[in-house]
Structure 1
Amino acid sequence: MGDSLIVLVVLALAIVFFVSGRLRSDIVALLALVTLMLFGILTPAEGLSGFSNSIVVMMIGLFVVGGGIFQTGLANIISNKILKLAGTNPLSLYLLVMLTTVAIGAFVSNTGTVAVMLPIIVSLSAAAGISASRLLMPLAFASSMGGMLTLIGTPPNLVISNELVKNGYEALSFFSFAPVGAVCVVLGVVVLWPLSNLFLSKKRSDEGGTKGNNKSAKDLAKEYQISENLYRLRVGYNSSLVFKSAQELDIANRYSIVILEIRRKEEGRRSLFSKSVSQRMAAPTTIIYAGDVLYVMGEFETVKEFAEKYQLEWIVVGDSEEGLPVQEELGGGEIGIAEVVVLSNAWLVNQRVMDSGFREKYHVNILGIQRRKSYILNDLKNQKIQSGDVLLVQGKWKDISLLREKTGELVVVGHPEQEAAKSLIVNRAPVAAIILVAMVAAMAFNLVSAVTAVMVAALLMVITGCLHNVEEAYKTINWESIVLIAAMLPMSIALENTGISKMVAVFLVEQLGSMGPGFLLAGIYVATSILTMFISNSATAVLFAPIAVQSAIELGVNPHPMLFAVTVAASMCFASPFSTPPNALVMSAGRYNFMDYVKVGLPAQLIFAVVMILILPLIWPF
């Protein structure tokens, strides 16, 4: 009894910390795990078993596979091509957003799916003249619905399949979830259209008045009037800038100017087939050499003073730079410019540009700020960044692309697709598609075990160059999610070892089972759904899956409908922004508050509960 009490106290405290959000969820899970090991409720082998569990290994592999799909641009190619069919009709746009997201979400993590789709939706909704908030919440919900179509779509699916194997049942196949998932998709598409129109149609999420993500570098430079503040200066051999850096001379503060780019002649590289001038970002510590061409932004008088002080030669329009034709726009070659929307919860909000560390952290420059249809270019370093600001940034395309990963804080729009593609490994997109199809086929036809198929696919993504390097493969993995599930899986062992799972199962059977298995299924569904509103859906599935199996065994019925009630209830939780990562990802971008999720998500969640409680026994009879 003492061990049972300890487990319940540890579980209760973990739930409290999960809900409060004061500690990261993976740290909470690890603290709970270590506590159970210290009290001897779990042996070291049992405590560490989650880290070798096939679910965890599969999730790691799936993150890498998803990374290959993103870095080759395959996901963008698919989503852009399909969404272009929608035009500007709101209903057509809604349907294509939902179906595209569902299709991608069936094979890629729902978090990754939303990260890819979010900037596309912001752009398309602006072009269509509708508020992006009407589409972003349905987008998040659709990613979860898509996850219900396949074994690998969402972690709870893997959890219930693993629970069946643990109890001597056959593992679920790749498309065992498809009938239930299809019902979820149809129901979600039908229900969310009127709810989003009713409660979200008047919200404005297209912050800063952005107009799409297809502007060219020339368009952006013209819109922000960059050319009026951009000058080119050549460093002479007698200049006191030679062998110095901007930081060393404190140029930014002394002259209120920014050196954006350095074009440098590369000796021995001149030929008919390669350029003779290299293009590089000008970091504060970059050493300047004689012959360098500096791209300087600032007011004319301060740039003039700077040029006279350091004996720099002006390059006028029409002149060439050491044999290269003059580029009419900033942002050619490896270095480009793009727009980035700052969301309300971004760490940049209320920080001055010079104090933000943006350049040091992301290796990109802030060239200008668009705020409520006005453009701020002068004295930029002293400007405080506000929520909804649109930043015009300049940097290497690969660094600009990394900003896309900060989808909870920043949304990259105005990102010229052809130039942005230079940061992607687009020539490997067909290879990534073949690997994905082969992995799905191997799992669907049981050619090898699911975990083997995923591991092989992940290795092939790295070996075939669908990821830039091995380090990039590791970066694609969401380690917080991995550690959370690996640390929570042994909690189910503790619940079973202390008899708590069986006690809860017996209670449910005694209270609800006497009224029939349908009432027991309803009880499991409702309990799972409520808990998922407060803690992650993965953790909820780990806790309730053994209870569902034990309840079915106690009642002497098929455990499949009970387990499917767990995974559907855990995945189809819409009434809280914190229950699933996609819900949280779109919160700032859509300018949603908690009540928006209650207004739209709670009715949808209740409708799903009623329909699923009736449908699941028909798909998986007791």
Structure 2
Amino acid sequence: MTFEIIIVLLTLIAMLAALVMDKMRPGMILFSAVVVFLCTGILTPKEMLEGFSNKGMITVAMLFLVSEGIRQSGALTQFIKKLLPQKQTTVFKAQLRLLPSIAFISAFLNNTPVVVIFAPIIKRWANYVKLPATYFLIPLSYVTILGGICTLIGTSTNLVVHSMIQEAGMKGFSMFELGKVGIFIAIAGIIYLFLFSHKLLPANRPDNTAIEDEENSSLHPVEAVLGARFPGINKRVSDFDFKRHYGAEVKELRRNGHTYTNLNNVRFREGDTLILLADDSFIQTWGESSVFIMLANGKDHEPAQKKKRWFALILLLIMIIGATIGELPAIQKLLPEGIRLDMFFFVSVTTVLMAWTKIFPPRKYTKYISWDILITIACAFAISKAMENSGVADLLAGYIIGLSHNYGPYVLLAAMFIITNIFTELITNNAAAALSFPLALSLSQQLGVSPMPFFVVICMAASASFSTPIGYQTNLIVQGIGNYKFTDFVRIGLPLNIITFLISVFVIPQIWEF
């Protein structure tokens, strides 16, 4: 075992431990690992920085802005209001209208704004029609994940793997190629939620948001989900003057299905849901702040102009159709050399048009980009390169092949799914893809088979974060607003993980041959 292999293995173990213990934001943890590789000569400065100029990473950045433009246009709010039945209905009938439609939307938009907009509206609607909101909120998060695996732009992980394939000198995915397996998983997952969500999910837990201030009737409850940039993370509630910082009073804190009203010794954590007592200016002031992932006060906000909504949707449609048609060989032959009508081209044009037509505020565009995700993605490329350069990928691949003896690529495909899926539940989906990709590439090379089935299974496994609330931000959001316990996710999510595993392992080799 060489010095480089020992350094990379020890660094990866330390990185995984830091991610699991949530010592820092994932981007900084991965960047720290990359700096270690730079200092030990495993990576050159050029290799370290390549991820920061990668088309896939920059495409993800601009997709954040496109999603924000759609959110601010009011198109999603109007859509969900028309979709929700306004008369008495059953859980099954309501889910039949909601789940497939939301899955379709999330195939083309970032999951987080979809859940941030839909979750409070669905909760308020469920109370109105006297149905348990808990039967809809976890399914809301799950179907955005299921929809996301069906297209290239549905989740950042698909774009990361796509870019890594291209970096390795192979042809990446087309817009709907992953849908060849993703659609089977999505349909099976939605049917599973139709049949079992009301049996496996709890009925409404006590929700004490009806807090009134006797001295000042202008104050009302606001639900706020804490983001990673909240300055009080890991501080005691009693040690952090929330009212001085934000002009609101913390009345309750919800975490893992528990409601804390005695807050003196409770520490703030990312994903906590706070019940605040605030006035009407609170959401206007902090609504676009990255400090809070979601704010809801039980009221509808002023919708954007109808022309703005339609223009935003037309731009989105042109982007999707353009990127799909532009990848066709017949179209590429007609274009001058140097011009490629791919997703990067169309998302760049769409972002600029949305900025200049003020569909999202162009002066605030940096607020709408999740920089930690981008740094995580950029560092993922460097970590993958370090695993290749040091020989760690070949070593681990040979070890896995040795354990499986002569069972063939099907068993190794299943092993890759399990490894990636465990990583994504414990750390982040993009970091999971970064660790799994070089392993998959080396496995296929040593076996002498096509690597594409392994690459596709990484996409499916890295997104299939159903069993814990910590693996996906949308799960964290609905955990607080629905007052779910950790065990609720395990109970309903683990069978969905198994469904995704079985379909992936059996269907992928039929479409992408070894």
In structure 2, which of residues 360, 375, 380 is the aligned counterpart of residue 467 of structure 1?
A: 360
CA contact (8 A) 1:485 1:539 kept: yes
**Which residue is 2:10 aligned to?**
9
Q: Is the 1:89–1:128 contact (alpha carbons within 8 Å) kept by the matching residues of 2?
A: no
**1:388-417 Cα distance to aligned partner (Å, 9 max, x none):** 74635212874364379724xx641321x3
Alpha-carbon spacing, 1:36–1:134, altered in 2? closer, same or farther (3 Å): same
Name the structure 1 match of 2:344: 451
Cα distance in 1 for residues equivalent to 2:54 and 2:371: 15
Change in Cα spacing, 1:432 to 1:339, as seen in structure 2 (3 Å) is: farther
Bigger Rg, which one: 1
Is it true that 1:394 corresponds to 2:280 in the alignment? yes
Q: Which residue in the other structure is 1:412 paired with?
A: 296
Distance 1:619 1:79, change over 3 A: farther
**What is the CA-CA distance between 1:163 and the residue it aligns to?**
2.7
Partners of 1:167 and 1:342 in 2: how far apart?
A: 43
Task: State the shift of 1:66 in Å.
Answer: 0.7
Shift of 1:492: 0.3
Task: List alignment gaps of at least 5 residues for structure 2.
Answer: 254-265, 267-271, 328-340
Q: Tell me the equivalent position of 2:142.
A: 141
1:596 aligns with 2:488: yes
Check whether the contact 1:110–1:143 (CA below 8 A) recurs between aligned residues.
Answer: yes
Q: Paired residue for 1:432?
A: 312
Letter in 1 for 2:298: G
Counterpart of 1:567, as a letter, is C
1:162-311 equivalence runs, <5 A: 162-204=163-205, 206-208=207-209
1:569 paired residue among 452, 457, 461: 461
What is the aligned partner in structure 2 of residue 310 from structure 1? none
* TM-aligned CA deviation for residue 350 of structure 1: 8.8
Quick one: which of 532, 545, 548 aligns to 2:424? 532
Alignment TM-score, normalising by the size of structure 1:
0.71
Q: Which residue of 2 aligns with 1:72?
A: 73
TM-score (normalised: structure 2): 0.84
The Cα of 1:426 is off from its aligned counterpart by: 5.5
Task: Flag the 1:563–1:370 CA change in 2: closer, same or farther, 3 A.
Answer: closer
Cα deviation code 1:497-552 (max 9, x no counterpart): 01111222233334437222211211111111122221101111111122212222
The structure-2 alpha-carbon separation of the partners of 1:142 and 1:66, relative to structure 1 and needing over 3 Å to count, comes to same
**1:34–1:202: structure 2 CA closer, same or farther, 3 Å change rule?**
same
Q: Name the SS for the 2:222 alignment partner.
A: strand
How far does the alpha carbon of each residue in 1:238-267 deviate from its partner, in whole angstroms, 9 at most, with x for none?
A: xxxxxxxxxxxxxxxxxxxxxxxxxxxxxx
| Contact 2:273–2:481, Cα closer than 8 Å, also in 1 | no
Per the alignment, in what secondary structure is the counterpart of residue 402 of structure 1?
Answer: coil
CA contact (8 A) 1:46 1:493 kept: yes
Contact 1:132 1:204 (C-alpha < 8 Å) held by counterparts: no
User: For residue 135 of structure 1, what is the amino acid of its counterpart?
Assistant: F
- Supply the AA of the counterpart residue of 2:411: F
2:132 maps to which residue?
Answer: 131
As a proportion of its length, which structure holds more helix? 2
* Residue of structure 2 equivalent to 1:47: 48
Q: Percent identity?
A: 27
Please tell me whether residue 489 in structure 1 is matched to residue 381 in structure 2. yes
- For 1:441, the aligned partner's letter is I
Q: Distance in 2 between matches of 1:344 and 1:490?
A: 30
Residue 321 of structure 2, aligned match among 441, 466, 473: 441
Change (3 A) 1:86 1:566: farther
Question: Which residue of structure 1 aligns with residue 302 of structure 2?
Answer: 421
Aligned-partner residue type, residue 355 of structure 2: V
Partner SS, residue 421 of structure 1 = coil
The separation in 2 between residues aligned to 1:398 and 1:544, in whole angstroms, is 43
Q: Is the contact between residue 163 and residue 546 of structure 1 (CA under 8 Å) also seen in structure 2?
A: no
* Structure 1 residues 616 and 398: CA distance shift in structure 2, 3 A: same
1:275 maps to what in 2?
none
Distance 2:451 2:87 in 1: 42
